[in-house]
Amino acid sequence: MGASPWLVPVTALRRAVGTQHRECRSGRLGELRVADTVVPADAETTVDVELSVVVGGIEAEGTVRSTWVGSCRRCLRPVGGSIEAPVRELYRPGGGDDEETYALGTDQLDLEPLARDALLLALPLAPLCREDCQGLCPTCGAELADGPCGCATEVADPRWAALDALRAEEGSGPDGGRPPGGGSSSSTGTD
């Protein structure tokens, strides 16, 4: 098994504060998943960062790029795209134990945790195939993008069934459901 493409030697870089070095690495991270949105295991991921020696560690600033796939939240069709996440993180000796820094070894730093975290935070939680996607009919499951399905558009809420029945009875009476006394139900304010 070959060396990890994410390990960057930093011994020479760490000699002086202010030293900078650009690093571009590509490889596979394995599957990353948030809900039903996935960076596939075989997706090529690229980390392009400027490494800067700062007091207490090394700062990595740049971008992480990869591809993702998922399902449209409305119509369930397959959807996917590219993702580019900006990063600006600090590597320091003893880091990685807290959530704000990454571990810096004596002679190398590992870009893999930074890439994983950036992509997981940037993945769309509820992607759409297109902004005007109409989704599926909740009654029959037909794709509404193909046209109306013929189902009733107004579905009665079963919790109001008793009131709907009373309203229907009231509307079928001799006065057409108007309040007693004829006319309208609005008050004229005259006595």
Q: Is residue 130 included in any domain, yes or no?
A: no
Say yes or no: 14 and 75 in one domain. yes
Residue range(s) defining the domain that contains residue 55: 7-122
Say yes or no: 61 and 116 in one domain. yes
DSSP string computed for 88-155: EEEEETTTTSSSSEEEB-SSEEESHHHHHHHHHHHS-SS--SSTT---B-TTT--BGGG----S-S-P
- Tell me the one-letter amino acid at 76: L
Q: Is residue 52 included in any domain, yes or no?
A: yes
Q: Is residue 186 included in any domain, yes or no?
A: no
Query: What percentage of the chain exceeds 70 in pLDDT?
Result: 84
Say yes or no: 21 and 66 in one domain. yes
Say yes or no: 99 and 167 in one domain. no
The pTM score is: 0.72
Overall domain count for the chain: 2
Say yes or no: 106 and 62 in one domain. yes
**pLDDT tens-digit profile of 52-82?**
999 989 999 999 999 999 999 988 899 999 9
